[in-house]
């Protein structure tokens, strides 16, 4: 088996990895580069965007744009595989913006045609045997893959973390479904960000509970597809007897997670508390009863930076406490990802409450210990040098450049 990293050896977004065996090609992820990254332009990849496409397939680890954002460039001749709930969430998100961004129509068509895999159920493509396992990440229904062909076994981590609500089962899943691997193609997002994971998702929920007890009227800006954060906020609101208010779009996304065949069985991913969410419809006025309930109980409003929410927030009761619960780069002036709409909606006075969707280096090392590979190939990192110095004393680190291949002996 030959492993080629087409993009992502020295940047966090836009990773494309290829596994090739006997003329067959299995690609993992085809995403957009993150804002601010050096733009390499559209990729021209034999077997993915050009040439013979008859023996190629593309696996998507999860729905973040840096992993799925370029799928509309892939020919229909290449089958694309994704997890079922992840596909449903991305389809809802893409359809939601389709009216404003017509290019999303192609993405919607691709999503509708996708093939679906099930966690823990291996499947084959040509000479490849693929085992998808569920990983904890800030995208729901995210996957790592064990990929076997020609006697070589590779573990492709995808984006993941060990400090989320679902991380507790990770080591057990690795032992049960993966065992050891010859090579690990590993994400390394937080290699030079030691503080990014200092708060666990559960710690963060405790902080929210404390805040919601202290503040009666709360407006939180999380990512609409960060399912764990959203349900964490729902349960924090419920515990503190605050109304949990979302709009129809957000409620639809959360409902999709509740219908997940595995995680949907957990009370956490259901509206299992004393209070059900209150769902906003933008064509309705605020009834006096709704207004009185907000005034009496207080609320946790899950907001997005758009005119509907901005107008609503002005009309609902009292002085609000605002929270940013996603990456702070979105509101840092000068950052390529800067969102003026979000910065204006938040204003100057807000609390920043967030934790990373990616693994810290201690836990990443524990994953390598379990998998016991001959070598590790870092991707999805802006600092491969630090990755090599962090892990090079215990494992062989193979540093490739974009487009370069590694062929195990």
Residues forming the site for Zn ion (CB under 5 A): 64, 66, 159
Name the minimum Å distance from CB 47 to Zn ion: 23
Closest to Zn ion by CB, 89 vs 280, is: 89
CB 371 within 8 A of CB 155: yes
Q: DSSP letter string over 71-129?
A: GGGS-TTS-EEEEHHHHHHHHHHHHHHHTT-TTHHHHHHHHHH-EEE-TT--EEETTEE
Q: How far apart are CA 62 and CA 319, in angstroms?
A: 38
Name the minimum Å distance from CB 143 to Zn ion: 11
CA 406 and chain centroid, separation? 27
Closest to Zn ion by CB, 189 vs 390, is: 189
Name the minimum Å distance from CB 8 to Zn ion: 9
Name the minimum Å distance from CB 227 to Zn ion: 13
Q: How far apart are CA 22 and CA 211, in angstroms?
A: 58
Closest to Zn ion by CB, 24 vs 30, is: 30
- The DSSP bridge partners found for residue 337 are none
Query: Rounded to the nearest 10 degrees, what angle do helices 227-239 and 201-214 cross at?
Result: 40
Name the minimum Å distance from CB 71 to Zn ion: 15
Name the minimum Å distance from CB 137 to Zn ion: 6
Name the minimum Å distance from CB 159 to Zn ion: 4
Closest to Zn ion by CB, 222 vs 298, is: 222
Helices (H), 168-319: 170-173, 201-214, 227-239, 248-258, 288-297, 307-315
Q: How far apart are CA 98 and CA 311, in angstroms?
A: 23
| DSSP secondary structure letter of residue 263 | G
CB 257 within 8 A of CB 264: yes
| H helix or E strand, kind and range, residue 406 | strand 404-406
Name the minimum Å distance from CB 311 to Zn ion: 32
Angle at 30 between CA 144 and CA 388, to 5 degrees: 60
Counting Cα atoms < 13 Å in the Cβ hemisphere of 328 gives 10
Closest to Zn ion by CB, 64 vs 146, is: 64
CB 51 within 8 A of CB 84: no
Name the minimum Å distance from CB 161 to Zn ion: 10
Closest to Zn ion by CB, 257 vs 345, is: 257
CB 285 within 8 A of CB 262: no
CB 401 within 8 A of CB 210: no
Closest to Zn ion by CB, 7 vs 251, is: 7
Closest to Zn ion by CB, 223 vs 250, is: 223
Closest to Zn ion by CB, 84 vs 213, is: 84
Name the minimum Å distance from CB 154 to Zn ion: 19
Closest to Zn ion by CB, 60 vs 331, is: 60
């Amino acid at each position: 088996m030959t492993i080629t990293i087409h993009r992502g050896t020295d940047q966090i977004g836009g990773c494309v990895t290829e596994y090739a065996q006997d003329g067959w090609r299995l690609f993992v992820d085809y995403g957009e580069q993150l804002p601010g990254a050096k733009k390499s332009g559209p990729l021209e990849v034999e077997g993915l965007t050009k040439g013979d496409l008859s023996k190629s397939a593309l696996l998507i680890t999860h729905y973040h744009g840096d992993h799925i954002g370029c799928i509309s460039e892939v020919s229909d001749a290449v089958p694309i595989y994704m997890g079922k709930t992840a596909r449903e969430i991305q389809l809802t998100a893409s359809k939601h913006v389709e009216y404003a961004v017509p290019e999303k129509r192609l993405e919607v068509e691709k999503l509708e045609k996708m093939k679906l895999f099930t966690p823990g159920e291996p499947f084959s493509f040509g000479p490849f045997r693929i085992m998808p396992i569920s990983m904890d990440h800030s995208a729901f229904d995210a996957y790592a893959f064990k990929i076997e062909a020609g006697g070589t076994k590779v573990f492709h981590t995808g984006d993941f973390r060990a400090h989320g609500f679902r991380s507790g089962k990770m080591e057990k899943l690795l032992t049960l479904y993966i065992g050891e691997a010859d090579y690990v193609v590993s994400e390394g997002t937080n290699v030079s960000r030691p503080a990014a994971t200092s708060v666990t998702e559960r710690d963060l929920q405790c902080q929210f509970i404390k805040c919601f007890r202290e503040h009666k009227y709360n407006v939180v800006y999380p990512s609409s597809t960060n399912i764990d954060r959203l349900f964490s906020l729902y349960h924090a609101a419920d515990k503190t007897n605050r109304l949990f208010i979302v709009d129809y779009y957000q409620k639809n996304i959360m409902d999709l997670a509740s219908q997940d065949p595995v995680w949907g069985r957990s009370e956490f991913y259901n509206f299992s508390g004393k209070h059900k969410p209150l769902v906003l419809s933008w064509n309705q006025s605020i009834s006096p009863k709704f207004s009185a309930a907000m005034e009496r109980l207080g609320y946790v409003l899950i907001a997005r930076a758009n005119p509907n929410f901005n107008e609503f927030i002005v009309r609902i009761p009292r002085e609000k406490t605002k929270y940013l619960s996603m990456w702070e780069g979105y509101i840092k002036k000068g950052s390529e990802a800067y969102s003026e709409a979000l910065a204006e909606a938040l204003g100057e006075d807000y609390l920043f409450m967030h934790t990373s969707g990616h693994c810290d280096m201690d836990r990443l090392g524990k994953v390598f210990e379990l998998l016991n590979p001959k070598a590790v190939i870092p991707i999805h990192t802006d600092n491969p040098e630090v990755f090599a110095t962090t892990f090079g004393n215990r494992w062989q680190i193979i540093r490739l450049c974009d487009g370069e291949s590694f062929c195990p002996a």
